[in-house]
Amino acid sequence: MKYILMFISFFMLVSCAQYKVIGKFHKYDEVFIGDVNHNLLAGVGEIKAKGENSGIICSGSSYVTYKPLFAIGCAGQRGKAPLTCTDGRLLDLDWLATSCTTGEGIGRDQDGASFAFTFGLNEKDALIRLAELKNEVKGKPDLPVYRPKEHRAEKGFATGTGFAVSTNGHLITNFHVIDEASTIIVKDTFNNREYYADLLKVDKQNDLALIKININTKKLNLVSANNSERGNEVFALGYPLIQLQGQSQKANFGRINALSGIEDDIRFFQVDIPIQPGNSGGPMISKNGDVVGVMTATLDSIITFKLSGNIPQNVNFAVKSDYALPLLRDLNIDNTKNTEEYSFTEIIQKVEESVFLIISK
């Protein structure tokens, strides 16, 4: 019994470990040092590291995505470590383990800046390696402090999508896309023209906004979603991650999975349409060619992992069109539901020029 208790105590002790992590941006004069609190039994870790020059702190959870077959130990395991920084920066990191407590990885932030890191060092070795990294990046430009609202137009982050709901230039988008913006620009990517927009109405509670540009537009048919059902095929048009994917309009396809959102919020649909930052405010369109929702949010993978231990897959949400219709009450627009169904290819060809890139400054 004595030896069993000693073994259990030792096993519990080594199942949780703390060690150093260090990293650097390749093109900036910035290095990071911090800690990983690693639960070896669960295969997860909590990471927190601080920039030596900028002082920003990046933190998040790491998890295993691949384990080699028939492997003894942890060498060869791979995983992800999505981190959020105090300046709003997002780091998407991939790592490779060389043992159960050591490894290295690479990744990028939301603007594409590459980042490399090493973990599993003791305090002494970490400080030595940190000094080496400082010499490697010395003389490079300072890391730009990330301010999404001030740099959305330049960086592409937090741009969004909007769609025409009248023939007179009225567009619907998400409120969070234009929140606190002093200038709203609407870009027609098909004709490569930009227009300044006026903000007419907002519905902060439902994350919706009505804006207007001074041109004639081809309106989409925004209708009540009260006949929508689970399993209905739908698609979204929008402008996701333009800094990486470019400014050509993207179409993404899926189904309605639930008639309510997080915690059974009846204002939302849960859908498996894959969306990214930049899809916000775009139309969710049915096989009838009607807009039945406004793409709004994706389930936060880091928070979900912390709460459940699982990573969500394509769990996204759209505000039901019924909550956007009140914004149009003064416009006297006829929004009769279509009864015929079409192929998605046919619908896209008809409606693509009614969907715009939104840039707020």
Taking the domains of the chain in order of start, what are their residue ranges? 14-137, 150-360
- Going by pLDDT thresholds of 50, 70 and 90, the confidence category of residue 142 is confident
Q: How far is CA 322 from the centre of its chain?
A: 25
Q: Which of 98-107, 189-198, 238-247 has the highest mean pLDDT?
A: 189-198
Do the beta carbons of residue 220 and residue 329 sit within 8 Å? no
Query: How far is the C-alpha of 100 from the C-alpha of 76, rounded, in Å?
Result: 10
Query: How far is the C-alpha of 60 from the C-alpha of 47, rounded, in Å?
Result: 5
Residue 206 tokens read as 């439902």
Do the beta carbons of residue 255 and residue 234 sit within 8 Å? yes
Strand partners, 172: 163, 210
Query: How far is the C-alpha of 288 from the C-alpha of 335, rounded, in Å?
Result: 13
Per-residue pLDDT tens digits for 268-327 = 999 999 888 889 999 999 999 999 999 998 765 444 444 555 555 678 899 999 999 999
What are the E-state strand segments in 26-159?
31-39, 44-51, 57-66, 78-85, 90-97, 103-109, 114-121
Per-residue pLDDT tens digits for 15-28 = 567 889 999 999 89
What number does CATH give the domain 150-360? 2.40.10.120
What number does CATH give the domain 14-137? 2.40.128
Do the beta carbons of residue 127 and residue 117 sit within 8 Å? no
Query: How far is the C-alpha of 66 from the C-alpha of 222, rounded, in Å?
Result: 44
Query: How far is the C-alpha of 210 from the C-alpha of 329, rounded, in Å?
Result: 11
Query: How far is the C-alpha of 188 from the C-alpha of 193, rounded, in Å?
Result: 5
Query: How far is the C-alpha of 184 from the C-alpha of 163, rounded, in Å?
Result: 14
* C-beta atoms surrounding 168 within 10 Å: 15
Per-residue pLDDT tens digits for 227-273 = 999 999 999 999 988 877 889 999 999 999 999 988 889 999 999 99
Give the angle 177-178-179 at the CA atoms, nearest 5°: 100
